[in-house]
Each structure stands twice: as C-alpha cells, then as structure tokens.
Amino acid sequence: MQLLDNLSKILMDNLYEGLFIVDPRGEIVYWNRTAETITGFSAGEIIGALCEENLLMHLDPNGTAMCAGGKCPLAALRSEEKDMWQSELFIRHKQGHRLPVTMKIIALRNAEGELIGTAHLFTDNRQMREAVEGIMEAQEMALHDALTGLGNRGYAEINLERCLVEMERYGFRFGVFFMDVDHFKEVNDTYGHEVGDVVLQTVGRTIANSLRSSDMVFRWGGEEFVAIVLQLPPDQLDVVGNKIRVLVEQSPIPTDNGPCRVTISMGATVARTEDTVESLVNRADMLMYESKLHGRNQVTSDLTETA
C-alpha cells in the first residue's frame, strides 16, 4: 500500500499539467511540482491554504473572481452534482502577473457518491499560444517573399488552384497578369543591388496599390510578378494591364545618381475552364514575352492577339 501511495505521488508530481487537490472544506492538501513551475508558488506556500483565501485569485475571461461570493467551482460541483467543470481562467503568478490557463476540475467521490474533494488540473496556455504563433509565423514565412512582403510563387500557385476550383464550381472568371521588370540586370549594374532591391519593392507595392483589395499580387521569382484579378471581364484585360504599366512607369526611385525609372512588360489572360495552374501561367508568360519582343513596356493579352 505504501508502494502504491509513493507511486501515485511520483506520477502526480511528474504530470505535464499542474495539479492541486482540495478537500471538502476547501483546503488545498496537495500541490504538484508542475504547479510550482507554472505559478512560482511552492507547495509549502500553498498547502494548507483555503481556496476562499484566493491566493491564486482565479478570474474568468471577463475578470470576475471565481473563488468569491459562492462562485467557486467546488461549490458548483457540490450543488449541481457534476463530476467535472472546465474553463479558461486567469490565475495569479507569485510575481503578480496573470497567467492564462485551462482549468479542469474533477469531482472526487467516495463509494457512496459523496464529494470528498476535487482535483484541479491546469495547463499554461502561453505555451500553446506561442506554439500556434510559431506555426503561423513559419507558415507566413514559407508563403511570403522576404524582400517585398508579397506572397511568393508557392502562395501564388495555391491561390491560382483555388480560383480555378471556384471558377469550375461557381463560374467566377478571373484574370492573370504575368509581369517582368524590363532591363533589370542593367538596373543592378548601373545603380547597384541595393537600389535593385528597392526597385522590386517599389514595383511590387505599385502593382498591389493599383488593384482592389480583393485582388492578389505575388512575386513569382527574380524580377517577375503575378497578379490575380477577380471577376474580370476579358474586355478589361488591356485596361487593367495598362493602368498597372503606366503607374509603374511613373514611379521613379530616387537614388544618389538621379531617379531610376523602370518599366514592365506584361502578359494578360483570362482563365479558361480547361486550364490548369501550369497552362494558365504558361499562357500569361508567353504573352509577356510577346511584349518583350515588340519593344517592352507594353501589355499583350488574349484580347490584343485576337484584335
């Protein structure tokens, strides 16, 4: 029996969750090591204290004290004959600041079903929040271009696939614009790579600002950009494309050697029901090369080719 008691204490002390046990009078009779780690309170400081003394000062998400005025979960378990109570709470750390925790309170009953105490299990939600934030940050980094802040090629492909599915399902047409900065190597050779980076940032922001908030712009790679324009009639391809082109042309970048002016060549197409991401991007890319071949700083679209 002593062995089992020792084993139980070892197991409880090494739980991932904080654990404390309260007797029927509301006195804390057990406080495990994880609870010490999470709250900063040692077992010696907590054991023997009454729940109503509110050392941990449990607050619900609205800031209401949980262990005052008969709102203690222990009282609820008694009056409502529940076996478990769970909630998001804020408890006080020994240093004074608040900790967000998930608290699960389990009724301890004897063979006759009488409440003889409660076991309180709690986890520090900061670790979960940090883990979630870390995952979201990693996803953000994986899907966005560090230089321009735009979505990267992978993110563009994800959104193109989504738009194709929505077009097949709901008939939503959309346009794709493939853009390349003209003579970008000469920009780097003349002004340096730092200015080249500023050029890419400026072009990216100009493209994004020339479109609606519902449209999407991505850095495809190098000096190439892709834009997805939603609900775009084919006869608006050249209109939208030339708006972007002119705004980029009229956005010189100041440098120590005078303003750096760049232009873009563009291919524009509207998605077709038979398209895949690859066929759609390849068509826009080929149209962009037509613009290059015909003198750069222009838009070539499906509409242009059939006109």
**Per the residue annotation, which of 17, 36, 223, 224 is the catalytic one?**
223
* Residue 51 CB coordination number (10 Å): 23
Token pair recorded at residue 42: 């040692």
Pairing of strands 299-301, 264-270: parallel
Q: Which amino acid is at 225?
A: F
State the burial class of residue 4 (Cβ atoms within 10 Å of its Cβ: 0-12, 13-18, 19+). Answer: exposed
User: Terminus-to-terminus CA distance in the chain, angstroms?
Assistant: 93
Note whether 180 and 288 are within 8 A (CB). yes
Which residue shows structure tokens 């003889």?
116
Distance CA(226)–CA(114), nearest Å, equals 69
Judge whether 58 and 28 are in contact, CB under 8 Å. no
Q: Which residue is listed with tokens 């999407």?
A: 216
Among left, alpha and beta (phi > 0; psi -120 to 50; other), residue 57 is: left
CA nearest neighbour of 51 among 120, 149, 102: 120
**223 noted as active-site residue:** yes
The CA distances from residue 160 to 74, 117, 164, 195, in Å, are: 54, 58, 6, 31
Q: What are phi and psi of 25, to 5 degrees?
A: -85, -5
CA 219 remoteness from chain centre: 20
Report the catalytic residues: 223
